[in-house]
Structure formats: C-alpha cells, structure tokens
Amino acid sequence: MKSSVKLTFCRWDLIVAALILTAAGVLAAGYWGRTLAVGSSSLTAVVSAGGQETDRVRLASLSGAQERTYSSNGYTLTVRFSPDGVAVETSDCPNQDCVHTGTISRAGQSIVCLPARISIQLTGQSGSGDADVVIG
Amino acid sequence: MIYLEPIGRIRKFDARPLCGLCFKGMNMKKTLVRLLVPVLACALGTGSLAGCSLPSAAAQSDPLSAEFYAMDTVMELRAYGDGAQDALDASQAEIASLENLLSRTKEDSEVSALNTAGGAAVSVSPATARLLSASLDYSALTGGAFDITIAPVVSAWGFTTDTYQIPSQTELDALLPLVDYTQVRVRNAADGQGDQVSLGAGQSVDLGGIAKGYASDRLVHVFADNGVESGLAYLGGNVYVCGSKPDGSAWRVAVQDPDDASGNVGVLSLRDAFAVTSGGYQRYFEENGVRYHHIIDPSTGYPANNGLTSVTVVAAAEENAGDESAAGSGTMCDAFSTALFVMGTDKALDFWRANGGSLGFDLVLVTDDARVLVTKGIGSQFEQAEGTDYTYEIIS
Amino acid sequence: MTTRQLTLCAVLTALALALSYLENFIPLNLFIPLPGVKLGLANIVTVFALYALGAGPALTILIARCLLGAIFAGNLNALIFSLMGGLAAMLVMIVLSKMKKLSIYGVSMGGAAAHNCGQIGAALLTLGNSAPLNYLPVLLGVSVFTGALTGLIASLLFRAMERTNLMKA
C-alpha cells in the first residue's frame, strides 16, 4: 500500500488544532468550574501517598504556618500548611514540579509529586452547593 | 556514493513551499529558527496563562470579617453595614472579657476562683451567676445529661491538658460522686449585685460546653447595638446568624458529616437563629483501636456511646430586651447539644417531643447507623446533601 | 524487511533515545511548571518511522525505545508513563495518518495530545486519585504547539531526505 504524506500545513490541521484546544477548554471549564473558594472554616488539605490518604489538615484551625514532612516511594517532601493555603516547601524529587506549583488556596486545587506518588488536594464541601459556614 | 535501496513506501512528496516561509533550496537552519522562536514564545504564553489564578466565584458585597482564637477554638465573625467594624471590635472585646471570667484554664478567672475555693462561697459577676443558674436549670431539665461538674472526670481523661489517658475504674469510682450539679449553689443578691456561688467539697466546674453559646447570646446584643442587621458569628461549632444575607436570602449553614471532614450531611437555611453541633469526632484519641472522645457521660464517666455521631440544635435568636446578661437560646442550644449527645437517639427525640415546642428548638441528629434525623420544625429548611450514604427521616 | 530497513530501525531507535535525553536540557519545566510537560522530540522519530516504514516497525521502535530508555535511566517506574503515552500517541497517529486530508502537522499534533492524555492516565493509575486531571487542560493546550514543532522538524527531515537517494524508487 502506498502512502504519501503532505508536508504543508493546511486547513485540516487547523481543525485538528482547534479540536484539541476545544477539548482542553471544555475540560478546563468543567473541572475548574467546580472549584469554589469556600468559607475559610471548611478548607481542608488532604494528603495522600500512593493513593492512600495519609493526613488531613483543616486550614482554618491553624494559628500560623505549620510544616509537615511526608515520605513515600523513596522521596521526602516538606509541606507548609497555613490559613492562606498549602505549598510544598522542599522536596528531594528529581523534577521539583511539586515545588514549582507554588501555593494552592482554593477547593479543588491540588499539588502532585509524581516520583513520590504524593498528592495534596484542597477540598471544600461536597454535596450541597456553597454554604456560608459549616458547623460540626 | 553508496546507492541505497528505497527504504519504504514514500514515493513522492508534496513539493510546494512551506507556507511561504521557505522554498526549495532553503536554509534549514534559518527556517528552524524562524519557526522555533514563535513556537517557544507561544509555549511561554501558555505557561504564563497557566500561572494565572482564576477569578473567584460570585463576588458579593464583601462583609467585614475577623478571625481570631478564643475559648480554645477558632472564631470567625462577619458583619455587614455601617456599624460592622464597631460590631466586630465590640464582639471581640466581649468574648475576651467573657473568657477572662469563665475559663477554667485562666488562673485569675472567676471560675478558677470557684474551683479552688474548696467549697467556700465566691462572689461572682452577674454574667457568671446567670450562666451558672442556667446550667443548673439545664441539668435538671436533662436529668443530669448535661452537668458542668463533670470537670474532674474530663481532666482525668486528659482532655484539659491534651495528655490523653484512660483513667482506671478506681479513679473514676472516686471521681464520679463529685459529678453532682445539685451541690452547686447560686445565691442571687436581691438586686442582682453581689451574687455568690459555692460548690460541693472537691467539686470543680467546666463551662466549656456552654460558654460559647452564652457568648453567642451576648453577640445578639452587640450586633443590634451597633446597627448590624446582617451578619454571622462562627464560634468553633456554635453559629449565630443575624438577619438574612444582604441580598435577603437565608444564611446557609452546612452540618458537617461526622465521618468526612470535607463533606456535609445537609444545609440549613436560617435567619436570626442559633445552630450548635456536638460530636465525638471533634476531639478524641485512640488507644488499641478504640476511640475515646471528649463528651463524657456523667453517669458512667466514660465517653458517651449511645448511637449518635453528631447532634445539631437549632433555635430562633431573639433579643432579650430585659436582661442583657441573661442566658438565652444560644446558651440553651449549646447545653442541649452536649446533653442530647449523651442521651442517645431515642431519649433525645423524646426530649424534643416533650420540650421542643415550649422551649423552641429543633434537631438534626446523625446516628451511627447512617441515618440523619431532622425534626419537623426545620424539615422544610433542611436541604439534604447529595451523594451521601445517609438515610434521611423527618421526625414528628 | 530488508537489512537496510532493519538497520534503519536500529538507527531510529538510537536516535529516539538520544532525542529524549537531549530534551532534558531544554527546561520547558521552568516556563510551565507542570509534571510531564516536555517537547516530545522523540515523537519526531515515531512519526517519521510511521510514514517511512509503516505502523509495524514504528510500533516496534516505540516499544524498544521506551524499554531501553527506562533501563538506561535506571527507573523502571518511568516505563509505564512513557509506554502509555507512546502507545496512545501511536494509535492516534496511525488513525490520523489514514486521513489523506491531514498533513504531517495534524498527525503530529494529534499524537502529542494523545501522548499527554496517556501520561495523565498513567498518573491517575499511579496516584489513585483525580488530582492529575487538573493538569490536562494546560497540557493539551501546550501539545498543540509541541505537536506542530515535531511536525515541522519531521517535515524538514522528509524534505532533506528527498535530496538523497534514500527515497528514490
């Protein structure tokens, strides 16, 4: 079977590019649309290692910044929790993506360290729509 | 020159120029540079976009708010209107002064003086006296399920100092006789000044289960005095909502799921109301796989284990124009949330049937067999959470 | 397969390995701080092999380069990421290459997008929660550009090959 290939950029390629960008846009809207800044009293950081939940920190109950260390898969991360958000301070992973992500502060956001298999997700509430405050 | 056989299926190429940027016989290096630069520039652009934060949802008119720590918990106040700043300042001052009177961990508080008096009568301010009287009334009403004299037992478990331990049965046997609210005497002087209180021998009291409720009662006055008609006070699990939200809609107060700190069992729509939740999951320690929480049953000396994982008491907030230091429904909700948790599901519901109408309160109970029971009075104001495993029932 | 074709496969495999090592020196990570973002230069080889040799040899080259790459890096965990990404890209590119209307650019962009999807899929499996999905939209956006870049270089490669006798019928 003979196959030849076009080497010039043409209209159909633009369609492919547009399709990919639309898919990206739809994913972004759908996923990010669900992250809302919930009242500070309910923002919780959930730390998981290897898919298992290891730690939960309720950001509003902190009186200042607090650092915790997590080790998994041969790598160690130091995470700083504060009422304003969560960030990975240091990590001995090779690519430092987790450190570069910076601080997350809204429900739905997350920091991931792939080599260490550690993820930190900020969760607000599930179930009912935005509430003004949570008691419990 | 070595002649190579055709390697595969390519037989011809499209020889047209490449978008006018290069032609046959072009300089490959120049083309690469011409095209790589814009591509990398676009990548940079995408990268900076990725770094942008998204606009936050639903920008409302922002309230003034204050977050601070008092009474061993985090507190958050929000107020709308011109008097908001004054209201916040006055509220914080009020809470601080209450803490100075009522905290048993502050050595110079009135409660500490009472606890170290060895049974002698101690002079207290009207606020302390009112609160102690109310506590005794609630103890009588709940048959002792709420009892401020539980303090020695709570300390024996280490909850006061965060040094958790399981007390021995001997220790508890020695301490349980001290848990007896009937030995607390409050003598009101005729004009409300110079009130005196005394405890029984060896007793000590802890107002932690009622102080925040009392503080929320005081905030009703503070907000009203400063002209705040819309606001919210979150005092570590005790909520007071003042008026409606600025747009007229009700305040939405979510009840935390005892099993999942990031989820809730439902949302209450409230205006001018108190809502207080008590649950074992709020403070506990584990030993040998068993969980011991901080809500001690005064009759056994052990953490209450009567089928409930959380109790939320809801009542209307009314300004008691007569006596500003009287304990109101905020105090009541706080005391009842503890008492009903100790009582357990059936007794709590019986208590509500007997007193809910006359005292004006409703309940949201979460049981350990995954039911959420909402009493009829707030049935229409409670919105069930979606996607939970709980079964919801309206109780009449 | 002739000996020359076999030799070409081997050379292309080595080239792909060298390219994936080379792109570590271009710190795209600094501009876009997401895990897994890279130029994907090894896809140039994949796309070239697809057209020059066919789907079968291209697939073999892909698998060989993923295996060898993981062994050389001393990190077998990276294998699942590069395999899932590479196989997804391969699949999509085979399908797209059948569409005559698309040029090599369209095929490359589709391949780059599929590569990123495959890698996010691998991350979802490894981490066990949905956190990696957060990155997918931006990665897809970037893949349009890296795919275009890969397509460009591959097309320049074919044009250059035209001059040689390698392609003469």
Residue A3 placed within a domain: no
* Contact yes or no for C84/C119 (Cβ under 8 A): yes
Tell me how far apart the alpha carbons of residues C149 and B40 are, in angstroms, rounded to a whole number.
9
Q: Which residues of C touch B3 (CB under 8 A)?
A: 165
Number of folded domains in chain A?
A: 1
Domains of chain B: 64-115+207-395 (3.10.520.10)
Q: Is B363 on the interface with A (CB under 8 A)?
A: no
Chain B contact partners (≥3 CB pairs within 8 A): A, C
Judge: B237–A44 Cβ closer than 8 Å, yes or no: no
Residue of B nearest to A4 (CA): B10
> For residue A52, what is the domain's CATH number?
2.60.320.10
Q: What is the pLDDT of residues A35-81, one digit of tens each?
A: 544 344 567 888 888 767 788 888 877 777 888 999 988 999 999 99
3-state class of B319 per DSSP? coil
Choosing among A114, A118, A122, A123, which should be mutated to test the C contact, i.e. which has the most C CBs within 10 A? Answer: A114
A20·C140 Cβ contact <8 A: yes
**Cβ–Cβ contact B51 with C under 8 A:** yes
pLDDT at C77 over 90: no
* Residue A131 within a domain: no
Q: Is B334 on the interface with A (CB under 8 A)?
A: no
Taking an 8 Å cut-off on Cβ atoms, the answer to whether B9 and A3 are in contact is yes
Cβ pair B35:C152 closer than 8 A = yes
Q: With an 8 Å Cβ cutoff, are A31 and C133 in contact? A: yes
Chain B: nearest CA to C74, how far in angstroms?
Answer: 30
pLDDT at A21: 92
Task: Confirm if B235 and B73 have CB atoms less than 8 A apart.
Answer: yes
Supply the pLDDT for residue B173.
93
Asked whether the beta carbons of residue A97 and residue C34 sit closer than 8 angstroms, the reply is yes
Chains in contact with C, where contact means 3 or more Cβ–Cβ distances below 8 Å, are A, B
Return the sign of the alpha-carbon dihedral for residues C82, C88, C91, C94.
negative
Is residue B264 within 8 Å of B255, Cβ to Cβ?
yes
CB contact under 8 Å between B256 and A136, yes or no, is yes
Residues B114/B124, Cβ–Cβ less than 8 Å: yes
Put simply, whether C34 touches B (Cβ < 8 Å) is yes
Residues from chain C contacting residue B35 (CB–CB below 8 Å): 149, 152
Q: Chain A residues with CB inside 8 Å of C34's CB?
A: 97, 101
**R_g over Cα of chain B:** 31
Which among C33, C160, C167 is the nearest to B6, CB-wise?
A: C167
The rounded distance, in Å, linking the Cα atoms of B244 and B252 is: 10
Which stretches does DSSP call E strand in chain B? 64-70, 73-80, 122-124, 185-187, 195-198, 230-235, 238-242, 251-257, 260-270, 273-279, 284-287, 290-293, 308-316, 361-367, 371-375, 382-384, 391-395
* Closest Cβ–Cβ partner in C131, C136, C141 for A110: C131
| A82, pLDDT greater than 90 | no
Domain count, chain C: 1
pLDDT digits (tens, 9 = 90+) for C91-136: 999 999 888 888 889 999 999 999 999 988 888 887 766 677 778 8
Percent of chain A at pLDDT exceeding 90: 18
Q: How confident is the prediction along chain B (396 residues), in pLDDT tens digits per residue?
A: 223 334 444 444 444 444 444 444 445 556 555 555 555 555 444 444 443 332 222 223 567 888 777 887 778 899 998 889 999 999 999 999 999 999 988 889 999 999 999 889 999 998 899 999 999 999 999 999 999 999 999 999 998 887 889 999 999 999 999 999 999 999 987 765 688 999 998 999 999 889 999 999 999 999 999 999 999 999 988 999 999 988 888 899 989 888 876 678 999 999 999 999 999 888 888 888 899 999 999 999 999 999 999 999 999 998 766 677 788 999 999 999 999 999 999 999 999 999 999 999 999 999 999 999 999 999 888 988 877 889 999 998
Interface with B, mutate which of C44, C97, C150, C156 (most B CBs under 10 A) = C156
In this structure, are residues B309 and B279 in contact, taking their beta carbons and an 8 Å threshold? yes
User: Whole domain around residue A87: which residue ranges?
Assistant: 40-123
Q: Looking at the domain assignment, is residue A24 inside a domain?
A: no
Contacts with B10 (C-beta within 8 Å, 6 or more apart), sequence order:
A3, A4, A5, C51, C52, C158, C161, C167
Interface predicted TM-score (ipTM): 0.81
At B8 the pLDDT is 44
Across the interface, do A12 and C110 touch by the CB < 8 Å criterion?
Answer: no
pLDDT in tens, C25-54: 887 767 776 666 778 888 999 999 998 888
CB–CB contacts below 8 A, A to B? 135
CB B240 within 8 A of CB B317: yes
CB distance B387–A125 less than 8 Å?
no
* Buried residues in B117-135 as b, exposed as e (16+ CB within 10 A): eeeeebebebbbbbbbbbb
Six token digits for residue B316: 């209307």
Radius of gyration of chain C (CA): 16
Is A92 part of a structural domain of the chain?
yes
CATH number at residue C65: 1.10.1760.20
Distance CA A50, CA B84 (A): 47
Token pair for residue B280? 């074992």
Structural domain for C143, as ranges: 3-167
Q: Are strands B230-235 and B238-242 parallel, antiparallel or unpaired?
A: antiparallel
Pair B310, B366: CB distance under 8 Å: yes
Show residues of chain C in contact with A112, CB under 8 Å.
Answer: 35, 123, 127, 131-132, 134-135
Neighbours of chain A (3+ CB pairs under 8 A): B, C
Q: Is B113 exposed, middle or buried (0-12, 13-18, 19+ CB in 10 A)?
A: middle
* Chain C CB within 8 Å of residue B38 CB: no
